[in-house]
Structure 1
Amino acid sequence: MEHSPRLAVFVLAVAALFAGACAAPFDPGEEDAGDAASQAVRSDNALTSNALTSNALTSNALTSNALTSNALTAGALARNPLTAAALRDPAARSVLKYIAGCALPAGERILLEIDGVEVAFVGELGLAPRWGEKGGACDAECRSWVSGCVLARLNYLGEKVSISLRGDHEGLRANKAERRAYPRQEATYYGDIFAEEPLYYACLAPGASSIPRVCGPSLDGCVLDVVGPCGAACEKQRDDGSFPGCRAMVRGRSGELRPDEPPYPGSLSVFLEER
């Protein structure tokens, strides 16, 4: 295995607390989702907004392009001088942890030698598995899925919480037990964290007026552009409660808000445990 330049080791310590959301519970009904394994993400959902917006990996357009234009592998990350240099930044390594977890399937990992210590960036959901193959790259659809997933794992206080991620993707199936354990709709997340000017969007679940886990006590100053209710910004709600095909909202000539084009295929809805 080829190794990256020697980097400084960074350990992010977080507390295991919980912040709820103000939305009505989703009724999982009696539909059986089969024997698909639960995709609830029960740890490490503690990405801070500061790490996302100021890291050297995705907040720099040249480095972000170098990342998505090449395979998400140890060799590609180490060989490219832009990504290798960016990963000296602790915030960049924090973001890469979530990128790898979202893109790569469980059982796969990226091993990089950091200051003589081998550090693993572990796959989890497999939303863009081809990116991790030799010669792979992250196209527009890949960017959408990985972006929605990373944004869904933001936390205002940098705390670990337990969430259920759902969406129109094979890697996001939620079985009946998971739906019952995580009934509270929070929000749907989408955008493009790799764009030259990164796009961070969220829409509110039915009945919700805030996203305290991600935005804190108020939507004012939230790192995300909260566009309003998901019912207005997205396509028809799916049976699992998730909202697909969400869009940004723009103001028309007469002042009304309407969905922009095109929709984001990688729209991920988050559900929380009952309080």
Structure 2
Amino acid sequence: MKSQRLTNTCGFQHFRFHALALGVLLLGAPGCQPDTSDEGLDTSTGTVEGGLRVANSLTTQALVLNAISTNPWANDLVAAGGLAPLFHPVTGNTYLRLQLRDVDAQRFMSYLVSCALPAGNTVAWKDPLTSTVRTWEGKAGLCPQWELGAPTDVCKRRVSSCLLARNNALGRRVELSMRGEDPLQPTLFSLETETRPVEYDPDLGNARVPSYETCTSTQLGVSRDCGWTADFIGRCTPGQTVRLGTGGKAPDQCTTGSALGSSSGARMMLRVCDGIIGCDQGSDRNLGQSQGTCATTNAAVTFTCGSGFFNVMSAPYDSSLTGAVNVAVETSTSAATSYRLSEKAVYRVREGAYYGNIFDSTALATKVFVDDTGHLVGKDQIIQGSVYKKMFSCQAPEWTNEAAYASHRVCALPGSGANCAAKPVGDCFNYSNPLASKCKKDDGAVVWGDGDFEECYDPSGTLWNEPITVFLNEPCGLMPGAPADSCVWRGSSTSKK
């Protein structure tokens, strides 16, 4: 597999996977660091890179202590049957329905279905706390057969990797790119060639940015915080002046400049936000907005580049109307400015790989369950190390302190190394001592340069062929407030060790 974008919100993040065929990388080859440019996507083998975005917000605590996956009896049931019949609101398994009295079990199942089933497929279930029939939504499509029948071992391992990759201690919703290889389904996880801005803001409690919501009544003008649409993401040099538009001249070049971009339909407006997440009128990330420039109703914006990434939103001046935009960026002043970035260009920070099997009831360090009286048992435990004895993580060699990062990434109580979702095993790849690497390859060969770790080992020497490699937009996005030395990403592997 090679890449899909998903969201990490339940202690998980948005991530992406790549679907690629298996490749060969000679251990110890000099200069084997991943290429972070947009170029070099090799489609000569017939494989395609594309993308899928999902939410990463599953908290580590919910992942490691819930009445489904940490319950050996429920774990066995889920691993051996189809999700739709097992959780059917009327005829589903009564024991599993009892376990859904644990809200963390509900969250776990939401992410399991999101990882396993494709977009558009759902699993209906009855909430035992409210007697309401609800649905879990598919997204990544890593194991479609699980909807109606038992998953294969490969399916279970791949979905386990997905679940682990999408967890974080704080439940902070972060967009990420997940990459890997599947020789039997080479287009299962493809990279997006053009990437849309993120619509959910972790600083707003993982809520959707209000400006992306539909207006409840007709509103006019650029200051409103509803009825906006995400366009695309761009890159620039911090401190640089950037100009873009949808048919207007930049406001500082009314007499000398040329019109930038175009629009059709209704009169259209623009808003530019710093980073990759959309913004509202009063947000600190709002870099500029326009409902017309140079005595015209054609929109254009001049702004100063902030973080190095920016994203654009558009909206009709009259929220009851519809229109379309073609945003164009002035590039004559700096070749470093680009727009409509690919997934690979946006998600450049290689984090590490995740692999193993959550669905092995004999490899649980504890158990959590709802008893016949409805009492939740085992929820407040503190388990040293990993609750899942067959789940593992390795870190990219680009980190300054891989061990510290890994602990904060996979443990609910990182300071004590307790309630972890996996066992951190060290460097995924060690360039100065390849034999110490936990993975045989630091880049699958079908699409060179995307940096997916392949053929990874656990401490017992067992080989896992379904790792998922995570790439982030910013190093500390998943761990705000973590010690500074735990999330320093150097951006190059060759100087390490």
Whole-Å separation in 1 of the counterparts to 2:67 and 2:134: 18
SS of residue in 1 equivalent to 2:87: helix
Aligned positions of 1:174-253 closer than 5 A? 174-176=191-193, 177-196=342-361, 197=363, 198=388, 199-208=390-399, 209=402, 210-211=405-406, 212-215=408-411, 221=417, 223=420, 224-231=422-429, 232-237=437-442, 238=444, 239=448, 240-250=450-460
Range 53-62 or range 211-220, more displaced? 211-220
- Give the corresponding residue for 2:86: 76
Contact 1:104 1:128 in 2 (8 A): yes
Higher-helix-fraction structure: 1
Q: How far, CA to CA, are the matches of 1:69 and 1:113 in structure 2?
A: 20
Aligned-residue offset at 1:117: 2.3
Q: CA deviation at 1:116?
A: 3.4
Gaps of 5+ in 2: 1-8, 15-32, 194-341, 364-387, 430-436, 476-497
Going from structure 1 to structure 2, the CA distance change for 1:52 and 1:65 (only over 3 Å counts) comes to same
Do the aligned residues in 2 keep the contact of 1:202 with 1:225 (CA within 8 Å)? yes
Deviation at 1:274, TM superposition (A): 3.8
Residue among 116, 120, 134 paired with 1:119: 134
Aligned pair in 2 of structure 1 residues 217, 106: CA closer, same or farther (>3 Å)?
A: same
1:181 is aligned with what amino acid?
V
1:54 offset after TM fit, Å? 1.3
Change (3 A) 1:14 1:233: closer
Structure having the higher Rg: 2
Partner of 1:54: 65
For residues 28 and 180 of structure 1, what CA distance do their matches in structure 2 show?
Answer: 6
Match of 2:465 in 1: 265
Q: Which has the higher strand share?
A: 2
TM-score, normalized by length of structure 1? 0.79
> What percent of counterpart residues are identical?
30
Q: Which residue of 1 aligns with 2:384?
A: none
Residue by residue, what CA displacement relative to the aligned partner does 1:42-88 show, whole Å, maximum 9, x if unpaired?
x3x11112111211101111211111111021x32242233222112
Q: Is the 8 A contact 2:142 2:155 kept in 1?
A: yes
Greater Cα offset, 87-96 or 233-242 = 233-242
Q: Do 1:108 and 1:123's aligned partners in 2 also have CA atoms closer than 8 Å?
A: yes
Residue 154 (structure 1) shift: 0.8
2:166 paired with 1:149? no
The one-letter code matched in structure 2 to 1:225 is: K
**For residues 173 and 217 of structure 1, do their structure 2 counterparts lie closer, same or farther at Cα, with a shift above 3 Å needed?**
farther
Query: In structure 2, what is the Cα distance between the partners aligned to 1:193 and 1:243?
Result: 20
- Name the CA distance, whole Å, in 2 between partners of 1:70 and 1:139: 10
**Residues in 1 aligned to 2:76 and 2:60: alpha-carbon distance in whole angstroms:** 21
Alignment deviations for residues 190-225 of structure 1 (CA, whole Å, 9 cap, x no partner): 111111213221001122212444448968616121
For 1:220 and 1:243, how far apart are their aligned partners in 2? Answer: 28
Other-structure match for 1:86: 99
Query: 2: distance between equivalents of 1:25 and 1:242?
Result: 9
How many residues of Structure 1 are paired with residues of Structure 2 in the alignment? Answer: 243
Gaps in structure 1 of 5+ consecutive residues: 1-12, 19-23, 251-259
Query: Are 2:227 and 1:27 aligned?
Result: no
